[in-house]
Structure 1
Amino acid sequence: MFNDFNSDTIFCIGQTDDGKVWVGSYNGYLSIIDGEKITQSKANDIRFLLGCRNYGNQLIVNNENGLCISLFNSDFKQKTLATDVAGFYNFISSDNILYVGTNTYKRLMYKAVKDLENSAVE
């Protein structure tokens, strides 16, 4: 059973293409479960919201504390994709478009998946 700092108020669970399970809590921790091994981020300043989504071996998350949408790699390095936005659901379509349902601007944001590494979501 998964029972650690990250086990309280879990809002984000996702699995990346490499089979790792990612768990993010509203209390701020992000953990990666790889078989029997659990790695937890040291940072606890992120309040994960609903709607995380894998992007290859990385995870797209909604962060209430920073009001942003971020992309995390397995070393817990974070890239901000959009700022000043409260995202609640992320979806990647069959034609590789990332859609983000937001509350901040009450609109749907979108971006081609291939462009995520180079620019922010619009």
Structure 2
Amino acid sequence: MADPLYTRLQATAQLLITKYGQAGKIRRVTPPDPINGGDGTSTDYDCRLFPMIYDQRYVDGTSIRSSDRQIYIGSVGLAVKPTVGDQVLTVDGTAYHIVAGDPNNYEGVTDVVFIMQGRAIS
């Protein structure tokens, strides 16, 4: 059973992302069939997100680059859980690969918010 504290935190996070964020998409690419080959298929899932620039003190040039973005993705109504390897598409047309992520799931039941590290696809 979900802890009421985390349910309230999830609702607050969703409210802030809805108010200040933007619509976006999570693109998940399914690999091709290992026997028959072919092309992988991509599926887009709607989401609400808020991209932020990393504070300069965290940018080290290797694990976090200056072009990386910290992307907050609301968990309410999300059809999939974003994972490393997915892509995030923003309103301005920028696409990011998810290279690291934190689901903020403290008690193992409620995903409060997904905080992902996105690296621009060039």
| Larger helix percent | 2
| Larger strand percent | 1
Highest CA radius of gyration, 1 or 2?
2
Bigger relative contact order (CA 8 A; separation at least 6):
2
